Amino acid sequence: MPVTVSCRTPDGLPWRSYLRLRARHLLSALGLGGSELSLLLVGDGEMRMLNRRYRGRDRATDVLSFPLHELVPGASLPADAGAVPAARLLGDVVISIDTARRQARTSRRPLAWRLEALLIHGVLHLLGFDHEVSPVEARRMERKARALRATLSAVPAQLPPKGTVAAGPGRSENPSRGCGGREGCRRGRRRGGWRGKPAGARRGRRV
């Protein structure tokens, strides 16, 4: 199950291996072990630029999703991942390390937990789940996310070594402490590998 993790911020470098492994376990849990996924870790500056360009919102957000194949709400939305071909390129998930860290500190949960939650949320959007369609769909997406978190919690996580994670001014960052709320995500479409310019991106989605 090829998972490509790219990083455009030094703060994301220690988390590449962790997120690659968690993404592989996530795809396996979804029955999509043969699918390909692209992850991009950025800072708030680049996330703000992407959010402005593809959602028309001039602020940073936590996660953006760019599905390669758009699913039709209400028609092919999966109850699980069964409506999605088991071997295909799913799309791109972009995560802001800066926003994830702030959310982690605010809610006093681990940064690792928050990054995993954003990964799950972004991938579910790639699969057609959409909490903005209706309250019913929002509850269904949240139930699926909770189930996936429970599944992944049983899989040992390999966290970055202590001291390798940048903390920001006046803070020390322990990957096993800190995490929380949600700010925003979006869905769009792109062709080919991630190059910082998803083609056909459309429709904003908020977490």
| Structural domains of the chain, count | 1
The whole-number pLDDT of residue 55 equals: 87
Asked, for residue 167, whether it belongs to a domain, the answer is: no
Asked, for residue 60, whether it belongs to a domain, the answer is: yes
Asked, for residue 140, whether it belongs to a domain, the answer is: yes
The pTM is what? 0.76
Asked, for residue 10, whether it belongs to a domain, the answer is: yes
Asked, for residue 11, whether it belongs to a domain, the answer is: yes
3-state secondary structure 104-145: HHHHCCCHHHHHHHHHHHHHHHHCCCCCCCCHHHHHHHHHHH
All residues at 6 or more sequence positions from 135 whose CB lies less than 8 Å from its CB, including other chains: none
Asked, for residue 15, whether it belongs to a domain, the answer is: yes
Asked, for residue 24, whether it belongs to a domain, the answer is: yes
All residues at 6 or more sequence positions from 177 whose CB lies less than 8 Å from its CB, including other chains: 108, 110, 111
- What tens-digit pLDDT sequence spans the chain (207 residues)? 589 999 999 999 999 999 999 999 999 999 998 899 999 999 999 999 999 999 899 999 999 999 987 654 434 444 454 455 555 889 999 999 999 999 999 999 999 999 999 999 999 999 989 888 899 999 999 999 999 999 999 998 888 876 555 544 334 343 332 223 344 444 543 433 343 434 334 333 434
DSSP-assigned beta bridge partners for residue 205? 185
The CATH number covering residue 7 comes to 3.40.390.30
The whole-number pLDDT of residue 190 equals: 43
Residue 204 phi/psi, 5-degree rounding, is -75, 150
Asked, for residue 168, whether it belongs to a domain, the answer is: no
Give the whole-angstrom CA distance, residue 164 versus residue 8.
Answer: 16
Domain of 121?
A: 3-69+80-160+175-205
The whole-number pLDDT of residue 133 equals: 85
**In terms of C-beta density within 10 A (0-12 exposed, 13-18 middle, 19 or more buried), how is residue 81 classed?**
buried
Pick from 33, 5, 16: which is nearest to 159 by CA? 16
All residues at 6 or more sequence positions from 183 whose CB lies less than 8 Å from its CB, including other chains: 61, 62, 99, 103, 207
